[in-house]
């Protein structure tokens, strides 16, 4: 099966691709490995041609899962991973030094069971290391044939330009959805100007736009429990707009997640959303969004639902916010 495709740097990938983090990291307990293996293979069967992982996810277990589950189909997809962020004794560690990047890539190659990763991102900017030095380490990995293209994640337009001056950047990855519009400040336009693909992570707002968040009774270890907009009275306020959005999706005859993804796909031709899921039926629902045509009037109504003030609360807790350099709005709440 084939899906509509989009250019992402030197690659051509399915317009809706797959973020694999959920299978090992961040939310509820991950599904059993055999189920995750079926999900990943189902994604490829349905035409998904990019899988996105990171050294951070599950402390490397997500990369191991991908290698074990679909390594035998390596030629069927673009493989993307990330370095700089990792887990040490259960805590996030940020290290953008060339030595750490080189070691991280070697670890990723081993866990994935491959000698080449198509797209390697700097997962976050390290304020202690000039971006030029971090990119230089990726350039050397590319020259050694260990990676094919270079990306950056959650970085400002200025940082992207500095990185691009060292070596052409293939992709920028940042959170983007109807509820998180920060890339529209400068990053989307910068990517369009420089010919860089844009990968939208958390395109259904960590489940908020997929009818899967109704309260803040999260499972132990769920990162949303520490995210201001997903808890308490702030979440209760945000769910008011979400219910209107769900009603609109129902009127159109599609699911909320499909409407959220259709809105992103309509933003610009260089945008590639990577929803993640732990359920095959949700995977199938998300992938179907690549072929759904939503009238412009309905997309405008969806956008209007999330006008300024509809969503309250910082998108990250402070320890995570200080690790990104993405532009913020003047009135944006920050932890």
Backbone Cα Rg of the chain:
19
Tell the burial category of 194 from Cβ atoms under 10 Å away from its Cβ (0-12, 13-18, 19+). Answer: middle
How is the beta sheet containing 117-122 ordered, strand by strand? Answer: 18-19, 50-52, 78-83, 117-122, 147-153, 171-175, 197-201, 271-273
**Do the Cβ atoms of 115 and 155 come closer than 8 Å?**
no
> Interior CA angle at 57 toward 202 and 29, to 5°?
80
CA dist., res. 330 & res. 148, Å (int) = 38
**Do the Cβ atoms of 149 and 142 come closer than 8 Å?**
yes
- Choice among 27, 35, 57, 176 that is catalytic: 57
**Do the Cβ atoms of 238 and 323 come closer than 8 Å?**
no
Within a 10 A sphere around the Cβ of 189, how many other Cβ atoms?
Answer: 13
How close are the terminal C-alpha atoms of the chain, in Å? 44
316 an active-site residue?
A: no
Catalytic residues: 57
């Amino acid at each position: 099966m084939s899906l509509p495709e989009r250019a992402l740097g030197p690659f051509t990938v399915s317009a809706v691709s797959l973020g694999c983090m959920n299978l090992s990291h961040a939310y509820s307990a991950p599904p059993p490995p055999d189920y995750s293996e079926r999900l990943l293979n189902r994604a490829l069967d349905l035409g998904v041609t990019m899988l996105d992982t990171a050294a951070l996810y599950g402390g490397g277990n997500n990369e191991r899962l991908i290698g074990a589950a679909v390594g035998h189909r390596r030629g069927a997809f673009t493989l993307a991973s990330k370095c700089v962020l990792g887990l040490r004794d259960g805590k996030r560690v940020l290290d953008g030094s060339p030595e750490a990047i080189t070691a991280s890539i070697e670890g990723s190659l081993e866990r994935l069971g491959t000698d080449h990763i198509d797209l390697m991102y700097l997962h976050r900017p390290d304020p202690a290391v000039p971006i030029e030095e971090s990119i230089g380490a990726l350039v050397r990995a590319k020259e050694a044939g260990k990676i094919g293209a270079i990306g950056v994640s959650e970085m400002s337009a200025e940082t992207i330009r500095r990185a691009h001056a060292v070596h052409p950047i293939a992709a920028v990855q940042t959170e983007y959805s109807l509820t998180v519009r920060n890339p529209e400040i400068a990053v989307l336009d910068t990517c369009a100007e420089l010919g860089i693909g844009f990968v939208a992570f958390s395109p259904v707002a960590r489940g908020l736009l997929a009818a899967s968040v109704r309260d803040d009774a999260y499972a132990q270890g769920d990162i949303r429990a520490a995210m201001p907009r997903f808890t308490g009275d702030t979440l209760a306020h945000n769910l008011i707009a979400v219910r209107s959005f769900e009603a609109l999706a129902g009127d159109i005859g599609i699911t909320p997640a499909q409407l959220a993804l259709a809105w992103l796909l309509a933003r610009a031709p260089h945008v590639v959303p990577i929803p993640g899921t732990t359920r095959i039926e949700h995977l199938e629902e998300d992938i179907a969004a690549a072929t759904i045509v939503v009238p412009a009037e309905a997309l405008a109504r969806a956008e209007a639902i999330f006008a300024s003030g509809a969503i309250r609360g910082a998108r990250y807790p402070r320890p995570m916010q200080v690790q990104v350099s993405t532009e913020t709005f003047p009135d944006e709440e920050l932890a």
